[in-house]
Structure 1
Amino acid sequence: MPIITVNNRKVHIQELNKGAEHTVVLIHGMFSNLSIYYFNIAPILAQHFHVVMYDLKSHGMSERVSEGYDLENMSSDLIALLDSLQLQNVHLLGYSFGGLIALKTALQIPTRVERLVVMEAPDPQDEKARNIIDEYSKEFLEHYIANFTDTTKRKMGKRQFEKNHRLYEFLFNQTSIKADMIKEKYFLHEMDTATLPPSTLLLYGDTSNCKPTGEWLQTKISGAQLELIPGDHNIPIQEPTQIAETIVDFLSNPLLQNHG
C-alpha cells in the first residue's frame, strides 16, 4: 500500500496500468476513501488508462490533519501530488465533494487538465446537499465493508472496523472539515467557467437530490454533457459498471476537443 509524502504529509495512493499513455486521477468524496473506486470502477478504467487514486487528508490511510479542508488547500494537495508523480497532463474525475475539488483544480491548472468528469458534486450553498454528504458517510462504511469482503473474500476484522469508525469520528469531531465546507458556500456561483476544459462530463443520479446542480452546471459550462445514471447520490456503489463504461467512452472519444 504505497504511502508517499506530499506537502510534508503522508498520502496513501494506488496506481493501476502505469504504462498507459493517458492518466485519469480519481478523487473521492468527503468521509469516504479511494476504495469507492478501487473495487469496481478503477479496474475497468485501467483497461484503457493509467489510473491514480489517493486518499484525501485524514481519509483512508492518509495522514490525519486537523485543518485545511477548504477547496484551495485540497486543490493545492492534488497539484502537489501530480507534481510528485511527475504527471503533467491528466484527466480528472471527482465524486461528491471530490467533484468540487476537481473543478477547483481545473480552474487552477487549466492547461494540465485534459478532460474533466464531475460526478454528483453538490452545491455547497444548499444545506440539504451538505447533509447528503453526512448521510452518505454513514452508508459508506457499510458498503466499504461489504465491498472489501466480496472482493478479497476475507471478512474485515473487528479491529479494522473499529479503526475506520475512529477515523470518521476524528473527521467529524476534531477537524475543521465542516466549517471549511461551509466556507465554500458560493464556490459554484463565483467560479469562472470560461477557463474549464472544453470537454466536461457531468454524471448525476436520476433521482439524486443533487441532480438540479448537475442540470445547472450544464448551462454554465460551455459544451458540458450531462448523463443521468439510475440511482441517487450513491451511484458509484449502485451502478459502478455503467459509470465506468460511460467515463471510458467519454475519455476515449477523439471527436471531443482536448486541451494540449
Structure 2
Amino acid sequence: MPIIDINNKKVHIQELNKVAKQTVVLIHGMFSNLSVYYFNIAPILAQHFHVVMYDLKSHGMSERVLTGYDLDHMATDLLDLMDHLQLEQVFLVGYSFGGLIALKTAILSPSRIQKLVIMEAPDPQDEKARDIIEEYSKEFLEHYVANFTDTTKVKMGKRQMEKNHRQYEFLFQQTSIKTDMVTEKHFLEDIRHAQLPMPSLLLYGADSNCRPTGEWLKEQINHASLKLIPGDHNIPIQEPTRIAETIVHFFTNIFIKNYG
C-alpha cells in the first residue's frame, strides 16, 4: 500500500507503468476513491502511459483531514503531489468534483497540464446537482463492492464495508467538505475569464443531470470538445472501456484547432 508524505499528510497513491514517458494523473470524485479507475480504466491507460492515481484527503486510504476541501486547497494538494513525484507536465483527468479540481489546477498552473479531460464535472451552483451527486456517491460503495468482487474474485468483508461507511460518515458529518463545496458555487464564473491553452475533452453521460454543464463548458473553453457517453453521472462505472479508449485516443492524437 504506497503511502507518501506530502506536507506532513499521508496520501495513498497507486502507479502503473512507471517507465512510460508520459504521465496521466487521475482524480476521483468526492465521497469515492481511486478504485473508480483502478480496476478498469487505469489498466487500459497504462498500456500507453505512466498512470498515477491518488485518494483525496479523507478518502480511501489517505489521511483524514478536517478542513481544506475548497478548490484552491485541493488543486494545491495535486500540484504538491506532482512536485513530490517530480512530474513537470502531465495529462490530467478529473471525474465529478474531481473534474472541478482538474479545472482549478489548469487555471492555477496551465503550463503543467498538457491535455485535460473533464468527466461529469457538475455546476457547483446547482443545489439539485449537488444532492444528486451525493446520492450517487453513497451508491458508489455498492458499485465498488461489485467491481472489487468481479475483478479480484475476492468479496469485500463486512469489516471493510463498515470501515468504508465510517469513513464517509466522517466526511459528511465532521469535515468542512459540504461547506467548502458550497463556497465554490460560483466557480464556473472563473472559467469565463480563464485562459486554458491546453486541448480539453469533456466527457458527459447522455442522460446525466450534469450534461448541461458540459455543454456550457464547451462554449466557454476555447480548445474544448464534448463527447457524450451512454449513461448517467456514473459513466466511469457504466462504460469504463469506452471511456478509457476515448481518453487514450485523445491523448495520443495531435490536437488541431477547429477554426470553423
2:51 aligned partner: 51
Q: Which amino acid aligns with 2:251?
A: L
Give me the whole-angstrom Cα distance separating, in 2, the residues matched to 1:4 and 1:248.
Answer: 28
Q: How many residues align?
A: 257
SS of residue paired to 1:91: strand
1:26 aligned partner: 26
Give me the whole-angstrom Cα distance separating, in 1, the residues matched to 2:152 and 2:209.
Answer: 33
SS of residue paired to 2:114: strand
Instruction: Report whether the alignment pairs 1:168 with 2:168.
Output: yes
Contact persistence 2:110–2:198 (CA under 8 A): no
Contact persistence 1:56–1:62 (CA under 8 A): yes
Give me the whole-angstrom Cα distance separating, in 2, the residues matched to 1:147 and 1:106.
Answer: 31
Q: Which amino acid aligns with 1:132?
A: I
Q: TM-score, normalised by structure 2?
A: 0.97
Shift in Å, 1:256: 4.2
2:95 aligned partner: 95
2:184 aligned partner: 184
Give me the whole-angstrom Cα distance separating, in 2, the residues matched to 1:119 and 1:187.
Answer: 16
Contact persistence 2:107–2:194 (CA under 8 A): no
1:71 aligned partner: 71
SS of residue paired to 2:142: helix
Instruction: Report whether the alignment pairs 1:83 with 2:83.
Output: yes
SS of residue paired to 1:154: coil
Give me the whole-angstrom Cα distance separating, in 2, the residues matched to 1:29 and 1:198.
Answer: 22
Give me the whole-angstrom Cα distance separating, in 2, the residues matched to 1:77 and 1:114.
Answer: 19
Q: Which amino acid aligns with 1:204?
A: Y
Contact persistence 1:113–1:197 (CA under 8 A): no
Instruction: Report whether the alignment pairs 1:12 with 2:19.
Output: no
Q: Which runs of 5+ in 1 are unaligned?
A: none
Give me the whole-angstrom Cα distance separating, in 2, the residues matched to 1:48 and 1:256.
Answer: 21
SS of residue paired to 2:208: coil
Contact persistence 1:193–1:221 (CA under 8 A): no
Q: Which runs of 5+ in 2 are unaligned?
A: none
SS of residue paired to 1:195: coil
Give me the whole-angstrom Cα distance separating, in 1, the residues matched to 2:226 and 2:147.
Answer: 28
Change (3 A) 1:193 1:49: farther
| Structure 1 residue ranges, 4+ long, deviating more than 4 angstroms after superposition | none
Instruction: Report whether the alignment pairs 1:139 with 2:145.
Output: no
1:186-234, Cα deviation, whole Å (9 max, x unpaired):
0011235542133000000000000000000000000200000000000
132-141 or 110-119, which moves further after superposition? 132-141
Give me the whole-angstrom Cα distance separating, in 2, the residues matched to 1:155 and 1:107.
Answer: 41
Change (3 A) 1:23 1:222: same
Shift in Å, 1:137: 1.3
Contact persistence 2:197–2:223 (CA under 8 A): no
Q: Which amino acid aligns with 2:212?
A: P
1:149 aligned partner: 149
Give me the whole-angstrom Cα distance separating, in 1, the residues matched to 2:131 and 2:78.
Answer: 25
2:223 aligned partner: 223
Q: TM-score, normalised by structure 1?
A: 0.97
1:2-49, Cα deviation, whole Å (9 max, x unpaired):
000112100000000001111000000000000000000000000001
Contact persistence 2:206–2:229 (CA under 8 A): yes
**Aligned-pair identity (%):** 74
1:206 aligned partner: 206
Q: Which amino acid aligns with 2:183?
A: K
SS of residue paired to 2:216: helix
Give me the whole-angstrom Cα distance separating, in 2, the residues matched to 1:67 and 1:117.
Answer: 27
RMSD: 1.0
1:79-103, Cα deviation, whole Å (9 max, x unpaired):
0000000000001100000000000
Contact persistence 2:191–2:221 (CA under 8 A): no
